[in-house]
Structure 1
Amino acid sequence: MDTQVADTLPGSLIDGRYRIRGRVARGGMATVYTATDERLERTVAVKIIHSSQATGARARPADFLDRFTDEAKAIARLTHPNVVAVYDQGTHAGLPYLVMEYVRGRTLREVLSERRRLNPDESLAIAEQMLAAIAAAHRAGLVHRDIKPENVLVAEAPTGGPANLVDSVVKVADFGLARAVEASTDEQDGSQLMATVAYVAPELVTDGHADARTDVYSAGIVLFEMLTGRVPYDGDRPVDVAWQHVDRDVPTPSTLVPGLPRVLDDLVARATRRDPGARPTDAGALLAEVQVARDDLGNPNTHTAVLSRITDESAVSQPTMVVAAVAPSQRPAWARLPEGGGGSGRGRRRAAPTRGGDLWSRLAALRTQVMGSPRGRLAVAAAVVALGLVAALGGWWFGVGRYTVAPQLVSMSQADAEAQAARAGFTVAYDEPRHDEQIPRDGVVAQNPAPAARILKGDTIRLTLSLGPERFPVPDVVGKEFELAEADLTSLRLEVVKGNARYDDNLPEGVVVATDPAVGAEVKPGDKVTVVLSRGRAPITVPNLVGKNLNEARATIAQLGLVLVEPTYKDSDKPRDEVLGQSPADGAGVVKGTQVRLEVSKGPPLVAVPKVVGLPCPQAKQVLEAQGHPVTVQFNPNGVARFQNPAENTQVNPGSAVTIGCF
C-alpha cells in the first residue's frame, strides 16, 4: 500500500474564513480546492494562482496583484445563471486566490473524454447555455479570451438523468482570469497569447488583439469538437497549431461525421471565419443563430432521420435523443430570442402555385386521342411491357444483383484483414480503435457491415482495430476528500472500497491518505481500489526520550500508556543506559498500546588499568593520568608505588579513578 503526503493546504484556514477540504484539480495557471466558508457555512471552490504566474521572470509581483484584484472585482460583478459566480478574492502566502461557486458536475472535457463526441441536440443545448454566459460577459464589457472545454462545467441535470445532457445545467468559469494573468506582462513585452492554441482565434496569433468576436471563434471550435469528437488542427508544436488557424479554414463537421445537417456546417463556418468581421458580432448574435438552428432541428421526423443516418455511419457512445422544438415562451428569460420575426423558421415555406384547369383539359384531350386508335393502344401496351421489364430488371439490380455478402474479418490481424478484403474486391477504412480484453493490439474487433451482411460489390468495409487490453494508472487521489476521490475513480470505471481508516500526522480527518493498489499502479476497468482515509492526528504525542536514562524513559513511556519493547544496546561514548534513538520519533501521534523501540548506549569500551607497582610514585601517577584515570596517592607521595586499586589489567570504564599506595 502506497502513502503519499499531499500539499500542505488541505485542512488549513485561509483568511480566517475558508477551511480547505481537498484538492479538486491542478491546471496550468492555478490549483482548485474545495473549501467550507465557515462564516456562511457553505461549500465553495478556492482557486489559488501558481507562484510561477504571480512571480514569473517578466512579471512584477506588485503590479500583478493590483491587476489581478481589479480583474477579480470586474468578474465578481458578472452575475448570470450560466456563469460560475465569484464571491471573494484575496492573497494567501503571497499568492492571489478567488473564491467561487462550487459546481457539482464535470467539465465538458471530461464529458468528451468519456463520450468522444455528442449528438447534435446535446451539442446545441450545451452551446446555447455556454453562449448565454459569454453573451452576458460581452454585454458587461468582458472578453473571456480562453473559451475551451476545460472551462465549461456540465452540472447535474435537473431531471436527474445522468446521461441527459440536453437538460443539464452548463456554467462557464474563469472569465477574465486569462486577462488577469496576461496583464502582468503587457508593459514588459507586449501582448502574450494566453488562449489554448487548439481554440485560439487568428487575430490573437497575428497581432494579439482580442474582442467579443475572439470568444465567438473559440466557441465555434468548441461546437466543432462536440459534433466531431476532435479539434480541427493538430501539430507537433503549439506554434504550428496556432498558425493553422491563421492559414486554413476550419473544415465542415459533416466531412468528419457524414450525415450531419447542413445547418450545423453553416453554424460552425459562420462562427470560425478567419476574418473577424465576417463572424457574428458577439456571443449574443451567435446565440440567436444557435437557437434558430436548434428550433429547425426540432422537427421530429426530419431530426430522427438525420440522427439515424449519423448513428449508422459513425458509432456514438450514447443513444441518440430527439428534442422537440423549443417554443420561445419555454425558454428561460436569459435565453429568449427577440420577439417578432415570425417564429422559428418552420412553416414559412409558401405553398407551390397550382396549375390552372386548362392543363387538365389538355391532358384529358391527349388521352382521348391516343386511346382512340388501335395503333395508339398498341403503343401504350408496348410501353407498359417495356417499362415493366425495365422495372423488373432495375428492381432485381437495385434489390439483389448489385449486392454480395461481407467477408468475415473479425479477429484477424490488420494485415490479414486488408489482404482478405482486397481478394474479395473491397476497400478498407478504419473507425476509431478501442480496447478489447480478448483481441490483441491491431486485431479486428468489429466490422461494418457485419460478416455475411449485404454489401455493394466493391464497397468499403469499415474496421475497428483493437488497442489491446485497457490499462491505466491509478489516479493520484491522495489529499482529496472521499467524495471527490470516489468520483475520480468511478469515472474511470473502477470499483471503490473504503479501507480501515488510520491516523495521520499530516492530513485531516476524512482525507485520502493511501490507495491499494498504489497511485500509479496499472489497473483495468472494473478493478477494485481500496481507499484509506485519515482519522486525523493520533491523540498521544510521543515525547523526546533521547538523552534520558533508560529508567527515566521507561517510566515516561509507561505513564503515557505506551509499551516499551526490549531496548537495543549499541556501542557509544555516551554513558551506559543513556537513550540514543527512538521509534516512533518525538512529536509523532500514536494511540495507547503503541510499541516504542529504544536504542540504548552500552557505555564507552572498557580499558585495562596499566601496571604501576614498583614505579616511583610521581612516575606512576603520570602513567595513570596519561590514560585519563584520576589518581589518588596515599602515604608517601615521593616513595615507590607498592600497591594499586584497581589492580593491573583490570577492565574499567575510561576515566575510572585509581588509588596507589607509595612508601
Structure 2
Amino acid sequence: MDIQVADTLLNSLIDGRYRIRGRVARGGMATVYTAVDERLDRTVAIKIIHPNQARDAQMQLAGFVERFTDEAKTIARLTHPNVVAVYDQGIHGGLPYLVMEYVRGRTLRDILAERGRLNPSEALAIMEQMLAAIGAAHRAGLVHRDVKPENVLVAEAPSGGPANLVDGVVKVADFGLARAVEASSETEAGNQLMATVAYVAPELVTEGRADPRTDVYAAGIVLFEMLTGRVPYDGDRAVEVAWQHVDRDVPPPSTLVPGLPPVLDTLVVRATRRDPGARPTDAGALQTQVQMVRDDLGTAANAHTTVLRQIPSVEHPTMAVEQPTMVVSSVRPNERPTWARLPEQQREKPAPHRRRAAAPSSGFAERLRELAARLPGIAGSNRVAVIAVVVAIGLVAAMGGWWFGVGRYTETPALISMAGKDAQTQAERAGFVVKFADPRYSEAVAKDAVLDQDPASTDRIVRGGTITLTLSLGPERFPVPDVTGKTLDSAQLDLEQANLVVARGPDRYDDNLPKGVVISTNPKVGAVVKPGDKITVTVSKGKAPISVPDLVGKSINDTRSALRELGLKLAETYKDSDKPKDQVIAQSPQSGAGVETGAEVKVDVSKGPPEIPVPRVIDLPCPQAKQQLESQGFAVGVNINPNAVVRFQNPPENTPVPPGTQIVLTCF
C-alpha cells in the first residue's frame, strides 16, 4: 500500500511571521511553499533548501550559511520587473530559506507539458522577457547558472489569463541559488555539476566554469525546446546527456519541426555554439537579436511574405549566416572530471576541419611556376618571346609584391569614443568585420562608447579584415557593502574583494558589540563609491571598563561621592519636580553603561515641589480652619483649645511653603 508522509512544515510559523499554507513545487535543491506574511498581510513564496543539501554541507555549514546569506543579499538588490523579487532570508530548523514574490501563474515547464511546443511568436515573446531578466543579472555581475523552464514563471496576462503567452508577464527565479549550494558542495572529486544537464553548457561540463555566455547557451536550449517540444539531447544517464553538449552541435529546430523560418535556426545555433567565444557575449546581446527576429517575423507576417533579413553574425555581421560546421577536439576520458567518466566509452571521431579556400597568393605563385617551367621551351624558339616573358614575369612579380606588401592593406579607422552602434556601422560601411570583446568599466569613456579597438587607429589592416571593439560600461559604481558586526579580518576581505581600500579609524568602546567587531564605516553602508575609494572602519574595543552606577533616587550629595570614587565627572542640572528637593531624577549614560575614567555623567536634580502661599485662617473656628488647610495639602497642628477660634497661625498668611508643610494653629 502507499504510504504518504505528512509535510511537517504545513501550517507552521516561520520566524514568527510567515505562516505556511501549501506546497507549490519540489525541485532538486529546494521546496517552494506559499505562505502568508502575517506582519504585512500578503501572500509570499518561501523556498527552503532540502535537508540533504544542508547535510552535504555539514562539514562547512557556517560557510554554506554565509554564502547563502550573501547570495540572498545580492539577489535582493537585483530589482527588475522580470525578476522574481526576494524579500527576506533566514534559517528555519537549520535549513536556509528565501522569502520571495509570489507569482500567480504557471511555470514554463507546466505550459510545455500541457501544449507540447509553442509557436514562434509565443516562444520569442517569452524568450525576450527571460533575457531581459538574465541580462539585468549579468549587468550586476551575477550569473544564473541554472536557466531552465522550471525557473521561468509566466504570470497571468493583463489581457486575460495565462493562455495568452504573447501578452503574459514572464519572471525568472532562482538567481544565484545554484552557486550558493554548489560553493558548499565541494568534494575531493571536485565540484558537483549543479546545472540541469539538459541545459548545461559545454564549458561547465569540461571545466566547471560559468560566465554570462553559459546562461546564453542554456537560454538557447530553452528556445529550442519551446520551438520543438523537446530538448536536443537525451540519454539513460545524466552524465551521458551532459557530454553530448560537449561532443555535438545543437541541431537547427527546423530539422524537427519543418517549416520554421530559417532565421530561428540561426538564432538557436548561434546561442548554443560549443565555443563560448562564438556565442553572444551576454543575455543582453542575445536579447537584441531576439528583438530583431521578432520584428522581422512581424514584418513578414504583415507583408504576407517570408523574406527575412539575416541577424548580424558575431563573426561576420554583414553576411548571411551559414549553418556552422564546428570541430571540437576530442576529450580523452581520463581528462574528464572523475564523476563524469564513462568506462569503455566509444567516442565519436571529430569531424575533419573544413578546408579553407586557397589564398590569392597560391594562384599567383602557381602562374609563376608555370611560366618558369615553360621558359626553356620558349627560349629555344624565340629570343624576343623569352625577353617578353621575363619582362612579364618581372611585372607580375612586382605587382604581386606591391599587393602583398602594401596594396592589400589600408588604415584602420579611428573609432575610439564613438557610440558602439555608430562605430560598428562606420566600420562595416568601410568593408570591415566587427567583433566585440568583453566590455570594461571606464572613468573617462561614456557607457556603450568604444573604449578600445584592435588594431589601433591608423594601424595597417587588411582590407575587409576584422576590427575588435571593446565597449565601455561607464564608471563603475556600487554601494558600500554592509560589514558592520563582522570581525575586522572578515570586513577587510569583503571590502578588498569589492576593490575598495580599507583604513582603520580610531577604535571606540561599544556596549553592544564585542571587541574586534566593526561598529561603522565611513562612508556609511549603502553609500555609492567607485573602485579604489577609501573606506574607514571603526572597530569596537568592547564594553568600557567602568560601569555607571544607578543614581536615580539618590541625593545629590551621595551621587557626588559615588562618582568621585569611580573617577567620573558630574554635570548637574536642576529641574522642577514633585520629587523631594536635591534628589536625582534622571541620568545619562544609563546605569550599567560602560565608560572610561574621567567620563562625564549628567544628572537631573529635583528643585523640590513648587511652593504655595499659606492661606489666612485667623478668626475662623479651629475645626473649620484645620479642614481648609488639610484640603490644600498642608499638615495641621493645634495648640490650647481645638474647639475655639484661631488667634494665631505659623507660618503666617501668604508665606510661600512647599506642599505638605505643617501649619500650627493657636486657638482659644
Q: How many Å separate the matches in 2 of 1:170 and 1:405?
A: 50
Q: How many Å separate the matches in 2 of 1:347 and 1:427?
A: 27
* Alignment match, 2:514: 508
Counterpart residue identity of residue 487, structure 1:
L
Q: How many Å separate the matches in 1 of 2:483 and 2:583?
A: 44
Counterpart residue identity of residue 501, structure 2:
E
Q: Does 1:171 align with 2:191?
A: yes
* Alignment match, 2:230: 275
Alignment of 1:199-598 (within 5 A): 214-218=196-200, 226=210, 229=213, 231-232=215-216, 246-248=222-224, 275-276=230-231, 278-285=233-240, 338=343, 371=377, 389=395, 392-393=398-399, 395-397=401-403, 399-411=405-417, 433-439=439-445, 444-455=450-461, 463-558=469-564, 561=566, 563-598=568-603
TM-score with structure 2 length normalisation?
0.52
Asked whether the 8 Å contact 2:204–2:214 carries over to 1, the reply is no
Q: Secondary structure at the match of 1:581?
A: strand
Asked whether the 8 Å contact 1:221–1:232 carries over to 2, the reply is no
* Alignment match, 2:94: 97
State the Cα distance separating 1:629 from its structure 2 match. Answer: 0.8
Q: How many Å separate the matches in 1 of 2:175 and 2:377?
A: 76
Task: List per-residue Cα deviations over 1:377-418 (Å, max 9, x = no partner).
Answer: 999997887676556545544543343323444356779978
Q: How many Å separate the matches in 1 of 2:330 and 2:616?
A: 115
Q: Does 1:640 align with 2:632?
A: no
Q: CA 1:485–1:215 in 2, change beyond 3 Å: closer, same or farther?
A: farther
Q: Secondary structure at the match of 2:627?
A: helix
Counterpart residue identity of residue 522, structure 1:
V
Counterpart residue identity of residue 97, structure 1:
G
Structure 1 residue aligned with 2:51, among 42, 54, 72? 72
State the Cα distance separating 1:646 from its structure 2 match. Answer: 1.4
* Alignment match, 2:627: 622
* Alignment match, 2:74: none
Q: How many Å separate the matches in 2 of 1:94 and 1:444?
A: 46
Alignment of 1:640-659 (within 5 A): 640-659=645-664
Counterpart residue identity of residue 652, structure 1:
V
Counterpart residue identity of residue 215, structure 2:
V
Q: How many Å separate the matches in 2 of 1:621 and 1:78?
A: 84
* Alignment match, 2:359: none
State the Cα distance separating 1:474 from its structure 2 match. Answer: 1.0
Q: How many Å separate the matches in 1 of 2:453 and 2:201?
A: 35
State the Cα distance separating 1:622 from its structure 2 match. Answer: 3.4
Asked whether the 8 Å contact 1:221–1:231 carries over to 2, the reply is no
Counterpart residue identity of residue 613, structure 2:
A
Q: How many Å separate the matches in 2 of 1:502 and 1:636?
A: 72
Q: CA 1:491–1:552 in 2, change beyond 3 Å: closer, same or farther?
A: same
Q: How many Å separate the matches in 2 of 1:338 and 1:426?
A: 48
Unaligned runs of 5+ in 1: 1-48, 87-92, 100-108, 118-122, 124-143, 157-167, 176-198, 200-213, 234-240, 251-271, 294-305, 315-323, 350-366
Aligned identity (percent) is: 42
State the Cα distance separating 1:289 from its structure 2 match. Answer: 6.1
* Alignment match, 1:257: none
Task: List per-residue Cα deviations over 1:57-95 (Å, max 9, x = no partner).
Answer: 3259xx999xx99953587479999xx999xxxxxx992
Q: How many Å separate the matches in 2 of 1:334 and 1:222?
A: 13
Task: List per-residue Cα deviations over 1:476-519 (Å, max 9, x = no partner).
Answer: 01122333222211111111233344333333333322222221
Q: How many Å separate the matches in 1 of 2:352 and 2:224?
A: 36
Asked whether the 8 Å contact 1:116–1:229 carries over to 2, the reply is no
Q: Secondary structure at the match of 2:498?
A: coil
Task: List per-residue Cα deviations over 1:278-328 (Å, max 9, x = no partner).
Answer: 2454443256568989xxxxxxxxxxxx99xx9xx99xxxxxxxxx99976
Q: How many Å separate the matches in 1 of 2:16 and 2:648?
A: 79
Q: CA 1:345–1:551 in 2, change beyond 3 Å: closer, same or farther?
A: farther
Asked whether the 8 Å contact 2:584–2:605 carries over to 1, the reply is yes
Q: Does 1:56 align with 2:20?
A: yes
State the Cα distance separating 1:566 from its structure 2 match. Answer: 1.8
Asked whether the 8 Å contact 1:436–1:467 carries over to 2, the reply is yes
* Alignment match, 2:183: 153
Q: How many Å separate the matches in 2 of 1:514 and 1:571?
A: 39
Unaligned runs of 5+ in 2: 1-12, 25-29, 33-46, 66-89, 97-134, 146-173, 249-276, 282-313, 316-328, 354-372
Q: Secondary structure at the match of 1:596?
A: strand
Which structure has more relative contact order (CA 8 Å, sep 6+)? It is 1
* Alignment match, 1:130: none
Q: How many Å separate the matches in 1 of 2:403 and 2:199?
A: 48
Task: List per-residue Cα deviations over 1:22-64 (Å, max 9, x = no partner).
Answer: xxxxxxxxxxxxxxxxxxxxxxxxxxx974998533259xx99
Asked whether the 8 Å contact 1:408–1:452 carries over to 2, the reply is yes
Task: List per-residue Cα deviations over 1:133-157 (Å, max 9, x = no partner).
Answer: xxxxxxxxxxx9998444443999x
* Alignment match, 2:604: 599
Q: How many Å separate the matches in 2 of 1:249 and 1:73?
A: 30
Q: How many Å separate the matches in 2 of 1:277 and 1:459?
A: 35
Q: How many Å separate the matches in 2 of 1:419 and 1:327?
A: 44
State the Cα distance separating 1:329 from its structure 2 match. Answer: 6.6
Q: CA 1:85–1:544 in 2, change beyond 3 Å: closer, same or farther?
A: closer
* Alignment match, 1:238: none
TM-score with structure 1 length normalisation?
0.52
State the Cα distance separating 1:440 from its structure 2 match. Answer: 5.0
Q: Secondary structure at the match of 2:665?
A: strand
Q: Between Structure 1 and Structure 2, how many residues are aligned?
A: 450
Asked whether the 8 Å contact 1:153–1:172 carries over to 2, the reply is no
* Alignment match, 2:258: none
Asked whether the 8 Å contact 1:641–1:660 carries over to 2, the reply is yes
Q: CA 1:567–1:231 in 2, change beyond 3 Å: closer, same or farther?
A: same
Q: Secondary structure at the match of 1:631?
A: strand
Q: Secondary structure at the match of 1:400?
A: helix
Asked whether the 8 Å contact 2:646–2:666 carries over to 1, the reply is yes
